[in-house]
């Protein structure tokens, strides 16, 4: 099976998420990184490309899109791993050039940018993938299959949370570049709700299959001088009468990367946590709790197809990310339908979530309809 020729925008020296995307794209040997505009600074872009062994280096993504589209051996997909406010322009440039786009989440920093991307996706024949990487975890896909199969019955309650503590203090004032841009409203667009809340929201929708009808939110910033939210409590109403809550915080001391999902229906409930992602509990109503393990017997929904090593050997963040990239490769090469891949609609859901949370909180927690 041949590799997909991949380019990258952003993700140069010192960039955390760029390295994650590169590793994920290579785990299953489905991509070959051959070009990049890794920095807007030409010298830094060239140095990063040389360090990574990338054949073609550009300092401008527009030049890259034009040049790669004109080559017979040009890239077939581009990975956009810039800060949020820089997603739209590169995504649009490559879509207009007919090059498939794999974009980090959230979709954009503003509703206007998100709509511009949406218009470009609809006008292009190229594919668009949004890397909500937690959808790639095998047991999350197992949970989705169980819900779809009716194992939980009619859904009643969805509880999602994503708690961290790395912004407990004003880390953005200490020279931490990740904290600087993630707490800058001009670059990030939102705080905890955009950075991690969108992950929890996406996961809730992905597994449950529900659609949001309205939400009410209280956003708060605990760190002195911080311009974006660092804690959020959100109430959700879904189609069919289900109710939900979502908590996103980056000031919860003792929480490292506490993404958790719990879904309860008339026949049973499931619980999963990202810090122990190889185990999920399923409790049928009136029966003992069952422990489901990644790689264990009886998995459905294709979950077993997305694990690479024998049971008992842990897999996690990078492998889940790799599953999204592998699905993307299949989609690009016409070998898969992308059913499990997050895309434009997921991105637009996330942008609605951010905007609705901000509007609700500004209106003293008033409900905002979808």
pLDDT digits (tens, 9 = 90+) for 285-320: 999 999 999 987 777 666 678 899 888 899 999 999
pLDDT digits (tens, 9 = 90+) for 77-120: 999 999 999 999 999 999 999 999 999 999 999 999 999 999 99
Predicted pLDDT at 216: 99
Per-residue pLDDT at 311? 86
- Is 42 a residue whose pLDDT tops 90? no
How far apart, in whole angstroms, are the C-alpha atoms of residue 335 and residue 324? Answer: 14
The CATH homologous superfamily for domain 136-308+344-362 is: Dihydrodipicolinate Reductase; domain 2 (3.30.360.10)
CA–CA separation, 366 and 281 (whole Å) = 35
pLDDT, position 301: 60
| pLDDT number for residue 302 | 62
Question: H or E element: which one contains 69?
Answer: helix 61-70
3-state percent breakdown (helix, strand, coil) of the chain, nearest 5 = 40, 25, 40
pLDDT at 241 over 70: yes
| CATH 3.30.360.10, the chain: domain bounds | 136-308+344-362
- Cβ neighbour number for residue 286 with a 10 Å cutoff: 7
Q: What is the mean pLDDT of the chain?
A: 96
Q: What is the predicted pLDDT for the residue at 338?
A: 94
Q: Whats the size of the chain, residue-wise? A: 370
Domain 4-130 belongs in CATH node 3.40.50.720: yes
- Is the pLDDT at 163 greater than 80? The verdict is yes
Average pLDDT over residues 126-135: 98
Query: Which tens digit of pLDDT belongs to each residue from 309-362?
Result: 888 899 999 999 999 999 999 999 999 999 999 999 999 999 999 999 999 999
Distance CA(44)–CA(37), nearest Å, equals 10
- pLDDT of 40: 84
pLDDT of residue 41: 85
- Tens of pLDDT, residues 264-283: 999 999 999 999 999 999 99
Is residue 95 within a helix (H) or strand (E), and if so which, with residue range? helix 88-96
pLDDT at residue 247 greater than cutoff 80: yes
Predicted confidence band of residue 123 (pLDDT cuts 50, 70, 90)? very high
Residues spanned by CATH 3.40.50.720 within the chain?
A: 4-130
pLDDT of residue 299: 76
- Listed residue (204, 184, 187) closest to 248, CA to CA: 204
């Amino acid at each position: 099976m041949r590799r997909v020729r991949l380019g990258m925008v952003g993700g140069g020296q010192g960039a955390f998420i760029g390295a994650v995307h590169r590793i994920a794209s290579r785990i299953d040997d489905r991509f070959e990184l051959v070009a990049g505009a890794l920095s807007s600074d030409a010298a830094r872009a060239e140095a990063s490309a040389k360090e990574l062994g990338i054949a073609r280096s550009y300092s401008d993504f527009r030049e890259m899109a034009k040049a790669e589209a004109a080559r017979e051996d040009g890239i077939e997909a581009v990975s956009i791993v810039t800060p949020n406010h820089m997603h739209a322009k590169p995504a649009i440039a490559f879509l207009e050039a007919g090059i498939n786009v794999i974009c980090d989440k959230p979709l954009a920093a503003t509703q206007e940018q998100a709509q511009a991307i949406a218009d470009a996706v609809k006008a292009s024949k190229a594919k668009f993938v949004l890397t909500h990487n937690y959808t790639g975890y095998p047991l999350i896909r197992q949970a989705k299959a169980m819900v779809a199969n009716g194992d939980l019955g009619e859904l009643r309650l969805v509880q999602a949370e994503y708690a961290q503590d790395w912004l407990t203090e004003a880390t953005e004032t200490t020279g931490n570049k990740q904290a600087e841009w993630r707490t800058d409203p001009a670059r990030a667009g939102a705080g905890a709700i955009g950075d991690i809340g969108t992950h929890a929201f996406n996961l809730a929708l992905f597994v449950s299959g529900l659609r949001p009808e309205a939400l009410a939110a209280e956003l708060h910033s605990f760190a002195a001088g911080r311009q974006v939210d660092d804690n959020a409590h959100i109430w959700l109403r879904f189609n069919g009468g289900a109710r939900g809550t979502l908590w996103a915080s980056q000031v919860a001391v003792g929480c490292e990367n506490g993404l958790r999902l719990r879904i309860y229906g008339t026949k049973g409930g499931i619980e999963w946590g990202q810090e122990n992602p190889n185990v999920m509990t399923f409790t049928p109503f009136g029966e003992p709790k069952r422990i489901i393990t990644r790689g264990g017997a009886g998995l459905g929904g294709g979950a077993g197809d997305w694990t690479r090593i024998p049971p008992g050997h842990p897999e996690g963040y990078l492998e889940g990310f790799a599953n999204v990239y592998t699905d993307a490769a299949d989609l690009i090469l016409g070998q898969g339908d992308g059913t499990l891949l997050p895309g434009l609609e997921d991105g637009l859901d996330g942008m609605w979530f951010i905007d609705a949370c901000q509007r609700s909180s500004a209106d003293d927690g008033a409900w905002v309809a979808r």
